[in-house]
Every structure is written in structure tokens, then in C-alpha cells.
Structure 1
Amino acid sequence: MRYSAGHKSETRERLLQSSALSAKKSGFSTVGVDGLMKAIGLSGAAFYSHFSSKDALFAAIVERELSESLERLGGQGGADRQRLERCLKQYLSMAHVEQPESGCALPTLGAEVARADMQVREQAEQWICRLQQGWAEILESESLAWSVLSQCVGALVVARMLATPDVQRTVLRSSHEQITRQLALPRAE
């Protein structure tokens, strides 16, 4: 059976999208190649016609997800302080805690990126630095941008670790309140 010219790229895109959702929900290292391919209705043997290795797929997922996070979080320029504040409120929400597959990749894939090869880590660093720079322009402070970024990601990780929704909400609310206070302070950089 002959496939159309676009079939391979469509299959690769489906695999990338499905694998990214799976990685953000359950972790990337928890699923094997066969499981990733089965999720899109194909055999494991077909995987290698799309990616040279599972590590290559992970690198593609990191690039894609961090690029989307950058766009969503206003790190590509053109954002203003009000948009950033709305974004932070959505970021530190129970919806984001409960639906990791539809949110930012940093809290879900951060530990796996830290264990990945240097190329993936460097790629992630480029995206995170671009996000921080975008926020620094809005906030007029390099250090405040790093602080807010780190606190958001950390708060989400901690909230997801907890079992009780009330305690999760407390973590999110407390973090949001602290960030709001930080944003209101005069800049001293």
C-alpha cells in the first residue's frame, strides 16, 4: 500500500502531539516506544521512520512544548503587564494543576530535561531564557523575572505533589499573593 506524500509528516505530527500529551501527563520516561506508537494506532517498528531514537523524540517534544509555553506566557514580545498578570493568574490555577497535559511543559518535564543530554538542556535553556527576557522587559527587572518564573513553576510542582485540593489551592493562592506583592514593589536593580 502506497501512502500519500504528506502521510509521513502527518504521522510524525500525530506521534509528536500524542507523545507530548502523554509526557506532560505521565512523564516521558514511563512509556516505551511501543506504547507511544500504539497510542496513535501504529506498531512500534514504524517509530524509527520518524525519529532516530526516543531521545530524539524527547528533544522534539521539549522544543515544541517550550515554544508553545513561551507563546502562551507572553515571552515573545508584544505582551504587556496586564496580560502577564492575567497569565500568572491562569498559570497558578487549579485547572492548570489538574490538567498538566494542556499546560506549561516546565513543571511536568523539568526533571526529565535536567536528566537529558546536554543538547536538550541547552535547547531548554534557550527557551527559558527567552521567556525570562520577555518578562524582564515587561517587569523592568531581570531578577524579578527570574524570581516570578521560578516561583510559578515551583508552586505548580508543589501543588501537583499534594493530595488535598484545599492544600493545593492554598499553595497556589499564597504564591499568587506573594508574586502580586513582588510586582507592586518599586524596582531596585
Structure 2
Amino acid sequence: MPYSSQHKEQTRQRILQAAAKLFCSHGFDRVTLTQIMKQANMTHGAFYAHFSGKSSLYEAAMQFATSHAFWARDDKQTEGKETHIKALVTRYLSWSKSDKEHPSPLEFLVTDAAHKEEKVRQAYQACFDSLVDRLAGILKKRGSQEAKALAEETVVSLVGTVAIARSFAQPLQNDFLKRAKVRIVSRLNSGLKNAT
């Protein structure tokens, strides 16, 4: 008896969730299909029912991770005493405590940005563009005339900061992240003041 379309979609989502988690933690080259299917608690046969290969899975998993990442959520979910921008920067730089179910692809995949496979590079670029566009939209709402440029600068700073911080031992890592947060938020605030 064939599986229902709902069952097929649930299976696909389990594979995507497992793949996103592993790819975001280790990058494209350090993850195998066996690891992904073990994480999803499924067989290889289930994989080939949904994806043609590892590159196509990576592309779909990065889209999945991007759509579930904290920056894709509604402003109201992260606003409180802090502005949404500060909350976004704080959350991004808190990568060691980040959402275990939905990690941010850009936090860990710096090596995938220049990968030899075009599909891998394109998937990374799409994640980068998504975060830049999200942040640029917030900055534009707050009156920034240079929203896109300021958003790109901020995302590059966030990604670079996390990539470097991962190589530091404690307490240097925390100190480095705290200084980066102050610097990035200050630059964003300065960019917004110049807009008014």
C-alpha cells in the first residue's frame, strides 16, 4: 500500500530537519548521507525517494534552515525591552546557546561560501541574502537610507565574528563576542542616527 502524501511530506521534513542540523553544525563536506539518515532515524531508501543527491539535499536543507531561523520570525516575537535589531544581533552572537532545532546556516558554514560545488555556494548565498534582506527591511522601516549597505556590513560582521570566536577558548570567546556585540550595535545605531 503506497504512503499518503501527508506521510511523504512528514518524511521529507524529518530528513530536512536532520540535514539542516548537521550541515549547519559541520558544513557540507563533513556530513555524510549515512549520518543524516541516522539522525532522521530512517533508511537510505527514504532519502532517494525525496532527493537526487547530497547537493540537492543541501540546497533544500539550507532553504529549510533559513525559513526556520530566528531572523525569519516576526518582529513581535523578539521585541521587548530591546529593539528588534539589538535582539537579532544578540541572538546571532549567542551561537553557543543557539536554537538546537533550527540553527542558523550562516553561523557555521563559512567554509561553504567558497565551496567547489555551485549548488552549495548558491545555497549559502541564498541564506546570506535572506538575512541581509530581513535586516535591510528592519533598517528601512527605521528610516535608514543606506539600509542595504548597512545590513550587508552587519551580516558580514556577524558571520566573521562567529567564525573567529569559534576558534577561541573560554573566557576569551565570551569577551570577544561581548565586544563585537557592542561594536556592531553601535555601528547600527550610528547608521540609523545618520538617517534622521
Q: TM-score, normalised by structure 1?
A: 0.79
Does the 8 Å contact 1:158/1:171 carry over to 2? no
Report how many residues are paired. Answer: 179
For 2:96, the aligned partner's letter is V
For 1:129, the aligned partner's letter is D
Structure 1 residues 2-45: Cα deviation after superposition (integer angstroms, max 9, x where no partner): 53442222111111111111222233322322222222232223
Please state if 1:170 is matched with 2:175.
yes
Paired with 1:67 and 1:86, the residues of 2 have a C-alpha distance of: 18
Paired with 1:73 and 1:177, the residues of 2 have a C-alpha distance of: 24
Counterpart of 1:52 in 2: which secondary structure?
Answer: coil
Q: Choose from 164, 182, 194 the match for 1:187.
A: 194
Q: How far apart are residue 48 of structure 1 and its match?
A: 0.9
Alpha carbons of structure 1 residues 99 and 165: separation in structure 2 relative to 1, 3 Å: farther
Could you say which residue in structure 1 is the equivalent of 2:50? 50
Q: How far apart are residue 143 of structure 1 and its match?
A: 2.3
| 5+ long unaligned stretches in structure 1 | 75-80
Paired with 1:73 and 1:166, the residues of 2 have a C-alpha distance of: 33
For 1:167, the aligned partner's letter is L
Alpha carbons of structure 1 residues 73 and 110: separation in structure 2 relative to 1, 3 Å: farther
Structure 1 residues 112-165: Cα deviation after superposition (integer angstroms, max 9, x where no partner): 243153344345434433432342343312322211111111111111222x22
Does the 8 Å contact 2:106/2:127 carry over to 1? no
Could you say which residue in structure 2 is the equivalent of 1:152? 158
Paired with 2:151 and 2:88, the residues of 1 have a C-alpha distance of: 14
RMSD between superposed Cα atoms in Å:
2.6
Could you say which residue in structure 1 is the equivalent of 2:78? none
Report which stretch shifted further, 55-64 or 100-109: 100-109
Alpha carbons of structure 1 residues 40 and 64: separation in structure 2 relative to 1, 3 Å: closer
Please state if 1:31 is matched with 2:36.
no
Paired with 1:44 and 1:28, the residues of 2 have a C-alpha distance of: 18
Please state if 1:121 is matched with 2:126.
no
Structure 1 residues 71-117: Cα deviation after superposition (integer angstroms, max 9, x where no partner): 1486xxxxxx9111112122222xx2254744321022232243153
Please state if 1:83 is matched with 2:70.
no
| 5+ long unaligned stretches in structure 2 | 76-81
Please state if 1:97 is matched with 2:96.
yes
Q: TM-score, normalised by structure 2?
A: 0.77
For 2:194, the aligned partner's letter is R
